[in-house]
């Protein structure tokens, strides 16, 4: 635990107690609130057992809601059912197709290419934080598709977005949008010179070898409207039942009013948010206060689990 976090929680008389995952959870405590980011059948079983014996200790966040974000299909389906008011901005997601294995994908490659074109982004179906879930590729042609050796794979269209990614962090009612450098635009005349596929871990090589735009204009890139971002964040929190998340937003280079959510993550690293210690401390304090008042809907596991 960092000293800065400890200072903030001490001011609210909150004790942060690290949990030992190698020991039975029920033997650790008592706890007024439980916050976690571990997965797996055994851990889920432990959490459900703990909750059944400690109904007054809210679990942040609900297990079934977290599982929804671990699947890259159900993850983006969340976006399609968000309730956002009529406005100038359009909220969307990239087109994508799921294949159970690379062999099936190659059998349907002509239809895939016709519908989504190149380049394509290849992602594992599961987004559970494991090493495998981070193995993603940018695919430039059919030869690149043939080189993919994977099961449970998502093929997603690549949308030029000016080389800028907007990361939106949500901590309860707190919302913060920051911009980050992203993969630069890939123009059609450059695409014809690119062959095969490239792991995301080597994207810097792509930027060095191509002139895809962006670069020095990063600081001048306009942020999305604050009210739009906050409305989307509120709708996503209500739809998912999750209080700790972030989503990655891009702006279509062809249509400045069209924004696409390309990823949603549970309990991200908040260290880059200014004054994050105070934000997290206030959230924990408010969560426990809501629990005392009987309002635990945002942190309680569903009764039917």
Residues 243-291 have pLDDT tens digits of 999 999 999 999 999 999 999 999 998 988 888 989 998 898 888 777 6
Whole-number Å distance between alpha carbons of 34 and 207: 43
Closest CA to 263 of 129, 100, 114, 84: 129
Query: What pLDDT sits at residue 64?
Result: 85
Please give the residue that has the higher pLDDT: either 87 or 239.
Answer: 239
pLDDT band with cut points at 50, 70 and 90 for residue 58 = confident
Cβ–Cβ contacts within 10 Å for residue 280, how many?
21
pLDDT band with cut points at 50, 70 and 90 for residue 99 = very high
Strands 137-139 and 197-199: antiparallel
pTM: 0.87
Query: What pLDDT sits at residue 301?
Result: 41
Q: Span 121-128, mean pLDDT?
A: 93
* Strand ranges (E), the chain: 34-35, 59-60, 90-92, 96-101, 120-124, 137-139, 151-157, 164-171, 174-181, 197-199, 244-251, 258-266
pLDDT band with cut points at 50, 70 and 90 for residue 299 = very low
Check pLDDT > 90 for residue 157.
yes
What is the per-residue pLDDT across 17-57, written as a single tens digit (0 to 9) for each?
A: 888 988 888 888 788 888 888 878 888 888 888 889 888 88
Distance from first CA to last CA of the chain, Å, rounded? 32
pLDDT band with cut points at 50, 70 and 90 for residue 305 = very low
Q: 259 pairs with which residues across the strands? A: 91, 251
Whole-number Å distance between alpha carbons of 205 and 169: 29
Q: Which of 199-203, 204-208, 217-221, 261-265 has the highest mean pLDDT?
A: 261-265
């Amino acid at each position: 635990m960092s000293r800065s976090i400890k200072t903030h929680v001490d001011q609210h008389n909150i004790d942060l107690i690290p949990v030992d995952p190698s020991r039975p959870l029920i033997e650790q405590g008592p706890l007024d609130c439980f916050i976690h980011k571990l997965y797996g059948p055994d851990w889920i079983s432990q959490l459900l057992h703990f909750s059944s014996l400690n109904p007054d200790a809210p679990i942040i966040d609900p297990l079934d809601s977290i599982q929804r974000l671990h699947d890259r299909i159900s993850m983006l389906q969340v976006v399609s059912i968000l309730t956002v008011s009529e406005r100038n901005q359009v909220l969307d997601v990239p087109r994508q197709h799921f294949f159970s294995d690379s062999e099936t994908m190659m059998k349907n490659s002509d239809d895939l290419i016709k519908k989504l074109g190149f380049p394509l982004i290849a992602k594992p179906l599961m987004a559970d934080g494991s090493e495998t879930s981070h193995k993603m590729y940018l695919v430039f042609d059919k030869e690149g598709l043939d080189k993919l050796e994977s099961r449970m794979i998502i093929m997603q269209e690549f949308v030029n977005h000016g080389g800028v990614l907007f990361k939106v962090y949500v901590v309860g009612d707190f919302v913060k949008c920051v911009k980050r450098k992203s993969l630069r635009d890939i123009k059609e005349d450059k695409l014809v010179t690119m062959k095969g596929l490239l792991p995301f871990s080597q994207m810097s090589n792509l930027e060095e070898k191509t002139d895809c735009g962006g670069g020095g204009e990063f600081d001048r890139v306009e942020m999305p409207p604050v009210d739009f971002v906050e409305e989307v964040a509120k709708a996503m929190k209500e739809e998912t039942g999750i209080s700790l998340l972030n989503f990655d937003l891009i702006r279509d280079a062809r249509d400045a009013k069209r924004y696409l959510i390309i990823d949603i993550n549970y309990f991200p690293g908040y260290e880059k948010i200014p004054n994050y210690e105070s934000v997290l401390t206030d959230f924990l304090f408010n969560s426990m206060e809501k629990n005392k008042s009987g309002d635990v809907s945002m942190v309680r596991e569903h009764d039917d689990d």
